[in-house]
Copies of this chain bind each other. A is one copy, B any other.
């Protein structure tokens, strides 16, 4: 990968973002002193970042990792404690009114994390060290997951007295085809090693250390970035659509979608290159 090009479009406080000439964006969760605990600012920045990726033709594939000792310790409990999660219902406050606004808050949080899924560009998560609570919500919204040997995973929410509500209970069972395991993980909050994560299919592969994991992720990202960006964005978009619809509905949507996409210059170029056994170079989206 060529050196990262820093663009002013992606200046954040708690994220470090660079985009390479090949179209690989690297997003690093960068709050190591707090063990990358997710504050409101963290997920707001994350949402803004991936929203911008969606319409940025220079970005073809994203690698998401974290700085410091671990992927994330989960929700920022100190912040949460002073917010709605930190106290039971207060006397005198109308719980319906409080709940009305609290629901809007959860929806906003969910929407920020869902931008990872909705950005159309594939996202590869690199997990090292602990990945707890909200960390699982985040990586479940990614497309591909790789981990280091020392990585471990905990669906931690039940330990703070709540059901996970930012995507884990929706996406994890569709990411991992072992429901007995998924439910055990979500109901016990127990530690899952990277080896176990590999066996059940939560991660695609386990690398010795962070450097190797990053290299592996970047290699996959480079492969994806070298393909037609029309084909790549279409593939991710159609996989997401099809997950949530019947096979028949997925096929019909795909036919409508490709009636447009098949007019791309890329196909002609790719077919020609393929017959000539040459490597095609595709312009940005």
Interface membership of A8, Cβ < 8 A? no
CA distance A85 to B268 in the complex (A): 6
Which B residues lie within 8 Å of A107 (CB)?
Answer: 251-252, 255
CB interface residues, A 235-279, toward B, < 8 Å: 235-239, 242-248, 250-272, 274-275
Are B86 and A89 touching (Cβ within 8 A)?
no
CA distance A264 to B203 in the complex (A): 34
Tell me the dominant secondary structure on chain A's binding face: helix
Are B244 and A88 touching (Cβ within 8 A)?
no
Which B residues lie within 8 Å of A178 (CB)?
Answer: 176-177, 201
Are A91 and B91 touching (Cβ within 8 A)?
yes
A230 partner, pick from B97, B171, B189, beta carbons under 8 A: B97
Given the known inter-chain contacts A144-B183, A170-B250, A170-B251, please indicate yes or no for A163 contacting B238, CB distance below 8 A. yes
Which B residues lie within 8 Å of A5 (CB)?
Answer: none
CA distance A100 to B201 in the complex (A): 32
Give the contact-size bracket for chain A. Answer: 35 or more
Which B residues lie within 8 Å of A188 (CB)?
Answer: 220, 223-224, 227
Chain B nearest CB from A121 CB (Å) reads 10
Which chain B residue lies CB-closest to A231?
B158
> Interface of A with B (CB < 8 Å)?
54-55, 57, 77-78, 80-81, 84-89, 91, 94-104, 106-107, 110, 114, 117, 122, 143-145, 157-165, 167, 169-171, 173-184, 186-190, 200-204, 220, 223-224, 227-228, 230-239, 242-248, 250-272, 274-275, 280, 282-283, 285
